[in-house]
Amino acid sequence: MAISTVDTLDDLTTNMNDSPTSSHRHSSIVITRRTNRSLYTHFIHIVIKPFRNFLGRPKSKQPKGSVKLTPHKVVRKTCSVSDRVVEDIHVYDMRPRQTKAKAVTKRVYYFCGGGWQSPPSTQHWQLCAKLARQMPGTSISLVSYPLAPNNPAAEALPMLMRMYRTLLREAEEEGHKVILAGDSSGGNVILSLALEALREDEFAKESGVGEKNIPHPVAIMAICPSTDLTRSNPDIEKLMGCDPILTPDFIKSTAKAWQGDMDPADRKISPINADVSLLAKAGVHVHGVTGGHDILGPDAIVFRKKCEEAGVKGEWLEWEKQMHCFVLTWPYGVPEGREALGWIVDVLKKE
């Protein structure tokens, strides 16, 4: 499949509100609903489904700590990429070559999916570079977070929390807004970090030892996030026959690798069990994307509904008949992937 070279926002974006079932605006969460599926996407689902026990599986165990990455050559054609280390975590900052560092006013920190075990794919690098090109004044930073099983959550999350605090303090000093974004397991990590940081700060304030005005992200963009590591939602099994890429056994194995000795229901790794009202209290917007043929989708929707009940503001794209992380198919000219990416850009540009 040839990689698309389309770079204009007009080419990426379609008016999703043309559909009578496209949006729901009766709560703090605005939902854009899509039900169509292109023949191209249908064909892809048919072709890859027989191989779903092999696709996206970890190729090897990653070492302890944050892995130093090599930015994909496609990214360097249009963006400058710099590597910095923040609290022992490698962070790769991307911005268009013509954009000066002083022009940056917003930072998006992206955490890639891969079952908490695989480094960023080519599609992840391309997605981050595309976001950088489509969002003026914004630096997109890919975070090389420690991966399981050699870095289970109990070890990795404290490292990431230190990085989170440092990045937010630096952004506040520079006058930059911060957005956390991620797909799949990366979506889990960003939700877990933000919610635990808010809980820590709330506890400190109630104890009389907390600081005032502790910085937090203005928004979160969770793309097909994994929100409940218990994998106990009965809809997982109901959707098993529709999902062209994930299986219940696989998502249980990835959850086990990340949770290590932790209880899978622990709020620190299962955001669905955290106090999401803290997001509303802090004014953190939570945006997201779900696919109707994604066995992780039902849990993400339960999480979204909890946010809605708590008054958390955000925008969500709910697209039926789409597979897990379908946004990553955009480089191959898949219409739904391109449109979903355009939707993400539109939402994040408003933050």
This prediction's pTM: 0.92
Summarised one tens digit per residue, pLDDT across range 56-65 is 788 889 999 9
Question: What is the per-residue pLDDT for 26?
Answer: 59
Query: Which residue has better confidence, 210 or 202?
Result: 202
Question: What is the per-residue pLDDT for 4?
Answer: 32
Confidence label for 207 from pLDDT (cuts 50, 70 and 90): confident
85 has pLDDT over 60:
yes
Residue 124: which of 56, 174, 24 has the closest Cα?
56
- Distance CA(173)–CA(117), nearest Å, equals 33
- Distance CA(16)–CA(27), nearest Å, equals 19
Percent of the chain topping pLDDT 90: 82
Percent of the chain topping pLDDT 70: 91
Q: In three state form, how does the secondary structure of 171-205 look?
A: HHHHCCEEEEEEECHHHHHHHHHHHHHHHHHHHHH
Question: What is the per-residue pLDDT for 19?
Answer: 45
6 has pLDDT over 70:
no
Class of the CATH-defined domain 29-350: alpha beta
Summarised one tens digit per residue, pLDDT across range 129-159 is 999 999 999 999 999 999 999 999 999 999 9
22 has pLDDT over 70:
no
Q: According to the per-residue pLDDT averaged within each range, which of 13-17, 75-79, 171-175 is highest?
A: 171-175
Confidence label for 209 from pLDDT (cuts 50, 70 and 90): confident
36 has pLDDT over 50:
yes
Summarised one tens digit per residue, pLDDT across range 278-305 is 999 999 999 999 999 999 999 999 999 9
Domain ranges, ordered by start, for the chain: 29-350
325 has pLDDT over 70:
yes
Query: Which residue has better confidence, 14 or 123?
Result: 123
Question: What is the per-residue pLDDT for 210?
Answer: 63
Question: What is the per-residue pLDDT for 104?
Answer: 93
Arithmetic mean of pLDDT, 154-183: 97
Arithmetic mean of pLDDT, 19-43: 80
15 has pLDDT over 70:
no
Question: What is the per-residue pLDDT for 58?
Answer: 85
What does the mean pLDDT of the chain come to? 91
